[in-house]
Amino acid sequence: MRTGKLTLAILMILGLAVAANAMDKDEALHGPTGYVPESTSPLLITGADCTDPIVISSLPANLTGQTNCGMGNTYAATCLGNYDGGEDVMYRLDLAAETTIDILMSTTATWTGMLLDDSCPPDPTTCIAINTGSAGNRAINDKTLAAGSYYIMIDTWPTPNCVPTFDLTITEDVPPPPPPANDVCAGAIDLQSFETNVFTVDLCAGYTNNYDAGGSAGCTGYASAANDATYKVYLAEGENITASMTGAHDSAIWLVTDCAAAAATCVAGADETVANGVETISYSAAAAGWYYLIIDGYGAGACSLTTVTIDAPVANEYQQWGGVKAMFK
Ligand SMILES: [Ca+2]
Ligand SMILES: [Ca+2]
Ligand SMILES: [Ca+2]
Ligand SMILES: [Ca+2]
């Protein structure tokens, strides 16, 4: 990109004026900015500019021994700020489908900059992402990009005038699987679907925290900020349920009638013990209806492989409790 010398001079003067007014920490550390003359004609080297970028068409990509030395300072008015005054190399990443990527440029060079954009030349002010720094690797992580072509440029804030050697790694982020359906009450598992009254649930296996029993005024007496799993059971008026849980985390168990207002509709809750303790609730249904059992824990992020035991002594001999009662026959 040829820039008129007058324009360049004005830009340099403006740049110096800005620097004088607001020299940031990086600029103080960097010292005087060098000047790499901008390339005025194509270098005919693959990677030297947007007309002939290095194409990456599949992931993961691991390009070792890369450099931008000898590629020319083709782009010096990009979103990289000071970090585009050196020589630059351009990569084009072609994505056939929406992909979330991590880009890592590892190097021992100093004052390096990396940009990601969907236009080439890169947008002069706004890119999709940049990462710059006086030392260490450059990384742009967790960028979800629609199908299409994207450009990655590696540059420097002179001096140094270029990056003698670096590795460029682009990997696809595989998103975690969605939480189990019974992470929330809409997918609560009917307790009567179990063939045994004892089952396990790994609260670390994708479950999240959706329900909190509240603090000291709540039905467990504490917050229940841990990952939670939900189960449900239909109780006739007067039917009883006893449920207990134990695991390596500080468990909490509670029973509610309306998950949308879980803490307010809690009818029984327990958080009496700490890690490896057993928490037990017992409840006699005040009214017929669906009740939701929340297998939970005290601390944020806490979880473990948890054993749940359901005991369902019926209120009297004449009342039945479907499958769960059948467990005890
Ligand atoms: Ca440059
Ligand atoms: Ca949950
Ligand atoms: Ca919770
Ligand atoms: Ca507990």
* 328 vs 158: CA distance, rounded Å: 78
Summarize pLDDT for 79-112 with one digit per residue, the tens.
999 999 999 999 999 999 999 999 999 999 999 9
Distance 225 CA to ligand 3 centre (A): 4
Give every CB contact of residue 139 below 8 A, 6+ residues apart in sequence. Answer: 102, 103, 104, 105, 131
Model confidence band, residue 9 (pLDDT cutoffs 50, 70, 90): very low
Question: Any bridge partners for residue 193, and if so which?
Answer: none
Please report the pLDDT score of residue 23 as a whole number. 55
Query: What's at 143, amino acid-wise?
Result: K
Greater pLDDT, 25 or 235: 235
Q: What angle do CA 217, 220, 224 make, to 5 degrees?
A: 95
pLDDT digits (tens, 9 = 90+) for 247-294: 999 999 999 999 999 999 999 999 999 999 999 999 999 999 999 999
Expressed in angstroms and rounded, the spacing between residue 265 Cα and the centre of ligand 2 is 17
pLDDT in the model for residue 312: 67
Give residue 320's identity as a one-letter amino acid code: Q
pLDDT score for 325: 47
Which of 124, 126, 122 lies closest to 153, judged by CA?
A: 122
Instruction: Give CB contacts under 8 A, 24+ apart, made by 183-188.
Output: 183/207, 183/208, 183/210, 183/228, 183/229, 183/230, 184/210, 184/230, 184/259, 185/230, 185/232, 185/259, 185/292, 187/230, 188/230, 188/231, 188/232, 188/259, 188/292
Answer whether 167's CB lies under 8 Å from 62's CB.
Answer: yes
Among 261, 279, 277, 302, CA closest to 220: 279
Q: Above 80 in pLDDT, residue 243? A: yes
Q: How confident is the model at residue 3 (pLDDT cuts 50, 70, 90)?
A: very low
User: Minimal CA–CA distance to 93: which of 73, 69, 71, 115?
Assistant: 115
- For residue 195, name the pLDDT band (cuts at 50, 70, 90): confident
Confidence of residue 43 (pLDDT cuts 50, 70, 90): confident
**pLDDT score, position 32:** 87
Q: What angle do CA 73, 79, 83 make, to 5 degrees?
A: 50
Whole-number pLDDT of residue 41: 73
DSSP 8-state assignment for residue 38: B
What pLDDT does residue 315 have? 41
Measured in Å, residue 80 CA sits from the centre of ligand 3 at 43
Task: State both tokens at 59.
Answer: 């992931």
Q: What is the pLDDT of residue 217?
A: 93
CA of 76 to the centre of ligand 1 (A): 4
> Which of 95, 96, 84 shows the shortest CA–CA distance to 121?
84
Inform me whether the pLDDT recorded for 64 exceeds 90.
yes
Ligand nearest to C-alpha 249: 4
The angle subtended at Cα 49 by Cα 139 and Cα 161, nearest 5°, is: 65
CB 251 within 8 A of CB 244: no
Confidence of residue 26 (pLDDT cuts 50, 70, 90): confident
pLDDT value of residue 34: 83
Distance 185 CA to ligand 2 centre (A): 8
Measured CA to CA, the distance from residue 259 to residue 211 in angstroms comes to 8
In the reported structure, the alpha carbon of residue 180 is separated from the centroid of ligand 2 by a whole-number distance in angstroms of 9
**What are the tokens at 102?**
């991590």
CB 129 within 8 A of CB 171: no
Give the chain's domains with CATH numbers.
34-172 (2.60.120.380), 181-327 (2.60.120.380)
pLDDT score, position 228 = 98
CB atoms within 10 A of CB 52: 15
Label residue 224 exposed, middle or buried (CB < 10 Å: 0-12, 13-18, 19+). Answer: buried
Average pLDDT in the chain = 89
Gap from CA of 297 to ligand 4 centroid (Å): 6
- Residues 82, 77: Cα–Cα separation, whole Å: 9
